Structures are given as C-alpha cells and as structure tokens.
Structure 1
C-alpha cells in the first residue's frame, strides 16, 4: 500500500486537497483526527491531548488503508501526519514524546506533499498561528530534508495545487502524464 501524506502549516488546504485526491484516484483517505478530537472542547490542549491525537491519527490511517484495500486500490491519502504532532508538541511544550518520534521513524510514506502557505489564511476556532505560517513552513521543510523524505512542495492556487499533486502521485504510480498535465 502506497501512503501519501499531506503535511504543512495550518490553513494550507491539506484537508481539501487530500479529499480531492482520494476522489480523483478512487481510493480512501484518512481525515485529520485532531479536528474531530478538538471540536467542541474548550480552547487549548495538553501534551496528553497531542498523544491522544497522534494515536487517533495512526488509527485513522489504518482504517483508510483497510478501506483502500477493500476497494482494491494501491494508494491511500493521509490528511496530516505525525510530523504535525511533533512540530505542535515542540512549539507548545518544548519537546515531543519519544514514542511519537520512534513511530515517525517507522511510519513509511511513499510520498509526502508539503503544502505551502501561499493561500490566504482562513480563520477557524481550531487554528492558532496566522502570522507564523512561514516560520512553521520552514520547520516542515527542514524536518523533511533531515529525514531524507520523498517529498514535493505544493504551491499556488487550489487548481494548480491539485495539478501538481496529481503529477507527483502519477509519477509515484509510474504513470506517464500527458504533456498538458505537467506540473509547473
């Protein structure tokens, strides 16, 4: 099973793009568990909350993998990953629990799509850092480079992001894109 994770700072279109990609490729996707976990709770979160969110995200991925297998698809999309939890934990609490770091080393994604912050910020009660997105984007870039991850940076307006993502996913699947589909 090829797992494709979408990662990056808040309000970069991860949920929308992961859902569109899953629809386009006729497969399953794992939604961002943090949103379901935090919705309806008082503002703020603790380190144990982040650990619960990490466990929930891993479970959502496994459920998506099982759904993709039932569909006979070789591919699944993950709306966020443990890197998001690591960056949240380090920013908010100064460190990330060791078990999350170990699990990150074990978690294998065939491709990671890092979404740029060049979309307008969309306010949301669960979002926290509208003015720090560039800072967080640089953290994601550094982490993915340090991990030697197979990642592609996705930018531009939504339609262009979708085209870029499809280009990279098709490449992963060994498909030859048509000349008019080449990502720019």
Structure 2
C-alpha cells in the first residue's frame, strides 16, 4: 500500500484546529479525521475520568485507522492522541502508559502547530482561556520530544489558511 502522508493540526484550545482541518481537507481534496474527544466529551454527563482519557485515545486511533484508506494522497488529522497525553498530565499528573507506549509507534509526517494569535472563542468544551501560553509551550516541548517535523501557523482569517497551505505544499514537494 502506498504511504499516505499524515498531517496533524494541533495546538492549544481555540486556535482553529477543526476549521483549519476542514479547510485543508477541502483544499487538498481529501478527508479530515475529526477530533474524537470532542464528540466523546460532549456526551459526558460527569467530569472526565482516567478511563475516559483511555477511551478517547483508543477512539482517536480507531477513527484515524478507519479513515486512512479513504484519504486522497494526504490525510489531515484534526489533532492526535498526543492531546490525551497532554490533558492527562494536566488533569491527573500523568498519562496512561498505553498512550506513552503508542506515541512512538504512530508518527505523523508533519505537524501544524496553530498559534494562539486568534481571539478566544467560548465553547462549553473549552476550559482554560488563561492557560493558552502554557499549553503552547507544552505543545512545543512535546513535539520537540517526539523529534517531530512541525511549523507554527499564525495569521488571521485567510492569511492563516494561506500560511498553512504554503508550508504543506513545501513539505509535500520536498519529500
């Protein structure tokens, strides 16, 4: 089977990841893997538990695996299960071992780390408007630890999308 490059769109809350992922999927005539945890958390009636984090990790992996065969030359991923590691460490002080074990086994070819230069948008599933700089630093640390290829995407409105398309085009033509 031909290798389909996986491009992950990641970053702190309220940086436009879902909108960017949908835009990029349309631009590249492919499919975007949605953020599994968004729908999962929307259905919760109690605060998120350790088991919920594991369920979100497993759900994100399964969703990505099910959509990869439908991708057209590139797969756009609206976040990755690295988010489970980051949130688990923030909420519970540690990440599930199975998440840590799987991280090096599920690499992404390229990451777009969306900058916190967009205004905060309230959403019932967003919790930490005052910690955006903290989580931006965490994302840099995590991507560096994975030795991931990534670029920070900044800009407002169409400029943000144009910046993302340019770096993806450069990435796809370089490989």
Q: TM-score range by the shorter chain?
A: over 0.9
Structure 1 residues 126-141: aligned runs within 5 Å: 126-141=125-140
Q: How many residues align?
A: 171
Match of 1:4 in 2: 7
Q: Which runs of 5+ in 1 are unaligned?
A: 176-184
Counterpart CA distance in 1 for 2:123 and 2:70 is 29
> Moved runs in structure 1, 4+ residues, more than 3 A?
none
Counterpart CA distance in 2 for 1:153 and 1:43 is 34
Partner of 2:129: helix, strand, or coil? coil
Counterpart CA distance in 2 for 1:143 and 1:54 is 16
* Worse-matched range after superposition: 7-16 or 141-150: 141-150
8 Å Cα contact 1:114/1:154 also seen in 2: yes
Partner of 1:153: helix, strand, or coil? strand
Q: What is the root-mean-square deviation of aligned Cα atoms in Å?
A: 1.2
Question: How far apart are residue 158 of structure 1 and its match?
Answer: 2.7
* Worse-matched range after superposition: 85-94 or 52-61: 52-61
Q: Which runs of 5+ in 2 are unaligned?
A: none
Match of 1:182 in 2: none
Match of 2:109 in 1: 110
TM-score normalized by structure 1? Answer: 0.89
* Worse-matched range after superposition: 16-25 or 149-158: 149-158
Question: How far apart are residue 163 of structure 1 and its match?
Answer: 0.9
Match of 2:121 in 1: 122
Match of 1:28 in 2: 31
Structure 1 residues 144-183: aligned runs within 5 Å: 144-174=143-173
Question: How far apart are residue 92 of structure 1 and its match?
Answer: 0.1
Partner of 1:15: helix, strand, or coil? helix
8 Å Cα contact 1:29/1:61 also seen in 2: no
Question: How far apart are residue 43 of structure 1 and its match?
Answer: 4.8
Question: How far apart are residue 168 of structure 1 and its match?
Answer: 1.4
8 Å Cα contact 2:155/2:163 also seen in 1: no
Counterpart CA distance in 1 for 2:28 and 2:46 is 36
8 Å Cα contact 1:14/1:80 also seen in 2: yes
Question: How far apart are residue 76 of structure 1 and its match?
Answer: 0.4
Match of 2:21 in 1: 18
